């Protein structure tokens, strides 16, 4: 695999902020890089075997799952906004076939799965709302949680670890699930949608950069 890197004056690349289309692509670039980070963290944390996974890894999976679902929702909105701009509509008929196809396929996937992505985002606590927390605290029963106070934190080390928060999150998630599903099933579904969604988001970003930015960095 070969690598090509280009450098460009960003003021010129993005036309000093005067292009609605390029501003939209700039926004998507941030969301895309967020997704790359979130997917990688999910891959590392979820990829550990049960015997190697500690409570912190479990919380990281849920955290980055929540973040990825939120980011995918924003990416969908940003892609829709770009396709509605006058500049994109004028350029659409002149795009290379692959670029046009990647953008259209990504938009189709994210639109079709948009409602489900939002459902999963809410189910996994994309927004930590009080009703879900109240459901969790009312249904703890004999659940054992852990809190740790490190008496001598050093530098960036955090003095307090609220490990019990992962049980709170799990309980809040349960409040959103249908009676015939469980957290593990929803987790598997969410990971599948996120993985496929990222593939489409990456393809769309590649097409947009190739079509509208690559030569401007030349």
pLDDT tens for each residue of 142-196:
888 878 777 765 655 557 778 788 788 777 777 766 556 666 777 788 788 888 9
Residue 160 pairs in a beta bridge with: 149
Top pLDDT among 50 and 204 is at: 204
Alpha helices, H only, 96-212: 97-123, 130-138, 165-174, 183-212
Give, for 148, the enclosing helix (H) or strand (E): strand 148-149
Measuring CA to CA, how many Å separate 188 from each of 181, 191, 192, 202?
Answer: 11, 5, 6, 21
What is the pLDDT confidence band of residue 74, given thresholds at 50, 70 and 90?
very high
Contacts with 182 (C-beta within 8 Å, 6 or more apart), sequence order: none
Residue 153 confidence (pLDDT): 55
Q: How many Cα atoms sit within 13 Å of 51 on the Cβ side?
A: 0
Packing angle of the helix pair 130-138, 165-174 (nearest 10 deg)? 100
| Structure tokens belonging to residue 49 | 């075997």
Judge whether residue 46 has pLDDT over 60.
yes
């Amino acid at each position: 695999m070969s690598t090509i890197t280009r450098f460009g004056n960003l003021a010129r690349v993005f036309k000093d902020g005067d292009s609605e289309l390029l501003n939209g692509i700039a926004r998507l670039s941030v969301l895309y890089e967020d997704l790359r980070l979130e997917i990688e963290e999910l891959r590392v944390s979820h990829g550990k075997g049960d015997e190697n996974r500690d409570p912190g890894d479990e919380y990281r999976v849920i955290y980055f799952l929540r973040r990825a679902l939120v980011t995918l929702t924003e990416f969908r909105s940003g892609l829709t906004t770009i396709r509605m701009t006058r500049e994109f509509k004028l350029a659409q008929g002149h795009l290379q076939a692959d670029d046009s196809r990647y953008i259209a396929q990504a938009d189709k996937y994210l639109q079709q799965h948009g409602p489900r992505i939002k459902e999963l985002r809410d189910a996994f606590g994309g927004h930590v709302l009080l009703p879900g927390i109240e459901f969790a605290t009312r249904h703890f029963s004999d659940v054992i949680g852990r809190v740790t106070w490190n008496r001598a934190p050093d530098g960036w080390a955090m003095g307090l670890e609220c490990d019990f928060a992962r049980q709170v999150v799990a309980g809040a998630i349960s409040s959103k699930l249908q009676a015939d599903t469980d957290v593990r099933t929803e987790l598997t579904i969410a990971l599948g949608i996120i993985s496929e969604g990222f593939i489409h988001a990456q393809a769309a970003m590649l097409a947009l950069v190739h079509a509208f930015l690559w030569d401007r960095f030349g």
